[in-house]
Amino acid sequence: MSVAIDSPAARRAARYALAILTLINLFNYLDRWVVAAVVESIKKSELHLSDTELGLVGTGFIVVYTLTSPLFGALGDRRKRPPLIALGVAVWSVATSLAGFARGFMSLFIARSGVGVGEAAYGTIAPALLADSFPIERRGRVLAVFFCAIPIGSAAGYILGGLVDQHFGWRAAFWIAGAPGLLLSLLVLLVKDPPRGLHDVAGEDRAPAHWTEAYRDLFRNRPFILTALGYGAYTFALGGLGFWMPAFLERVRGMQRSEATVTFGTIALVTGFIGTFAGGWLGDFFLKRSKQSYLWVSGIATLIAAPAAFIAVSNPHRSIYLPAIAIAEVFIFMCTGPVNSAIINAVKPGERATAVGLSVLVMHVVGDIPSPPLIGAVSDHYHSLERAFMLVPLSIVIAGCIWMYAAWSASAKQ
């Protein structure tokens, strides 16, 4: 068995899986955040949407994604994974393109919500497949590569969406974002599906006989639940920040629309790349000292990010708030690889896709389902997006405290 694991063919298959799934993740986040780049254009278009309605457009996708993730997570632990991922990628690509044909709030809301079905099939299964493709001591770095697609894809969504919106209108941004997914859905069919638990302790790879057994185990798993709750607070901040920041820079800081999207997209690209790789490397480096290194790195990084985030949304001087945004995002992105590694390592190999699906449910119900519309509603009520943005640093502090407590309590039991 060890020969098969270490064979050149197995290594090539693992690298191909990482490359294709990372590329898909990039387009996943490009699609997810292209809407944020065109928020102000949609608001001023013939659709005449309020900030609350615009926030709901962002949340509709997350609601469907959240509700369907546990289903695909359970399927991912029991069925062939590449076909499920391919189906999801194709569905979200079509739904993204349909958003460009919206004629009002409801049609835009339905199209964006439909994207969630496709992304649920991909987002819950891909991390578990990668965990089975690489040994445990490399998972932090492997997932850092996979999740580095988040800042790159998010930046591409802001920049591409802003530039296409400027030259061709907001509808074209959705059409261009959706098209590549159909090709990627075919390429993922060539990904090899490794045995579950291939690099883990023998005998732990079997999925529970029934999905209810898996969920019973997960709800009794205190480290997993705490990690997911912290991820929820983190996602509240990240979702609100990502959705509203281009509008914030234009409306509150006075930037031109294209400048706002390109500026924030560029910051997200650079800081996300640096932060994601640094977090993955640090999590792996300290793993030999503490089994909770991924949680320690996540908790410390978020607590460092919080004051920088506060300065970024409260200080009106460009020479201060732009560097503050950059510093906050470096430390925010440092959590991405480690916290997902912590979730995967906290559960049995045969329950990993189910665990990711449940963590998606928890983190989005707590996080970016409420954050875009809540920030929009606070903005409408006080007529101040700047005031509403104060919710972001607060939620970052909460995430850091939960992860630090989870790391401390788990370490105390070792």
Question: In sequence order, which residues have a C-beta less than 8 Å from that of residue 251 and are 6 or more positions away?
Answer: 40, 385
Q: Number of folded domains in the chain?
A: 1
Please report the pLDDT score of residue 211 as a whole number.
Answer: 62
Residues 182-204: what's their mean pLDDT?
Answer: 77
End-to-end CA, the chain: 31
- In Å, what is the CA distance from 349 to each residue of 127, 201, 344, 407? 11, 9, 8, 21
Other Cβ atoms closer than 10 A to 117? 21
Distance CA(222)–CA(248), nearest Å, equals 38
Better-scored residue on pLDDT, 414 or 16: 16
Biggest distance spanned by C-alpha atoms of the chain: 64
Domain that holds residue 212: 2-413
Is the confidence at residue 68, as pLDDT, over 80? yes
pLDDT tens-digit map of 114-158: 888 888 888 888 888 888 888 777 777 888 888 888 778 877 887
Q: From the CB of residue 208, how many other CB atoms can be counted at a distance below 10 Å?
A: 18
8-16 average pLDDT score = 84
- The answer, yes or no, to whether residue 188 has pLDDT greater than 60, is yes
pLDDT at 2: 42
CA–CA separation, 198 and 201 (whole Å)? 8
For residue 412, what pLDDT band results from cuts at 50, 70 and 90? Answer: low
Tokens linked to 123: 């987002």
1 pLDDT above the threshold of 50: no
Q: Is the dihedral of CA 329, 330, 333, 334 positive or negative?
A: negative
- 19-46 confidence digits (pLDDT tens): 999 999 888 888 887 887 888 888 888 8
What is the three-class DSSP state of 79? coil
288's tokens: 């030999």
Distance CA 321, CA 388 (A): 17
Confirm if 297 and 238 have CB atoms less than 8 A apart.
Answer: no
Residue whose tokens read 């949340």: 59
Q: pLDDT value at position 391?
A: 92
Q: What is the CA radius of gyration of the chain?
A: 20
Question: How much of the chain exceeds pLDDT 90, in percent?
Answer: 25
pLDDT at 203: 44
Per-residue confidence (pLDDT) for residue 200, from 0 to 100 = 59
CA dist., res. 13 & res. 11, Å (int): 5
**H helical segments located in 286-390:** 293-314, 318-333, 336-345, 352-366, 371-382, 385-388
Tell me what pLDDT residue 3 has: 38
Report the length, in residues, of the chain. Answer: 414
Cβ atoms within 10 Å of 273's Cβ, excluding its own: 17
Least confident of 91-100, 291-300, 364-373: 364-373
Distance CA 153, CA 268 (A): 9
Q: Which two tokens stand for residue 72?
A: 């695909």
Asked if the model's pLDDT at residue 6 lies above 70, the reply is: no
Tokens representing 258 are 């294209």
Contact 403, 338 (CB under 8 A): no
* Residue 345 CA neighbour count, 13 Å, CB half: 23
The per-residue pLDDT of the chain, averaged, comes to: 85
Q: Which amino acid is at 363?
A: M
CA distance to 66, 116, 262, 364, 371, per residue, from 59 (Å): 10, 10, 23, 9, 8
Q: Give residue 4's pLDDT.
A: 52
Q: What is the pLDDT of residue 309?
A: 93
* pLDDT tens digits along 231-272: 999 999 988 887 788 888 888 888 887 788 788 878 888 888
Q: Rounded to whole angstroms, how far apart are CA atoms 243 and 29?
A: 12
| Residue pointed to by tokens 């979702």 | 239
Give the separation between CA 375 and CA 172, rounded to whole angstroms.
27
Query: What is the 8-class DSSP label of residue 248?
Result: H
Q: What is the CATH classification number for the domain harbouring 407?
A: 1.20.1250.20
Per-residue pLDDT tens for 299-351?
999 999 999 999 998 999 999 999 999 999 999 999 988 888 888 888 887 78
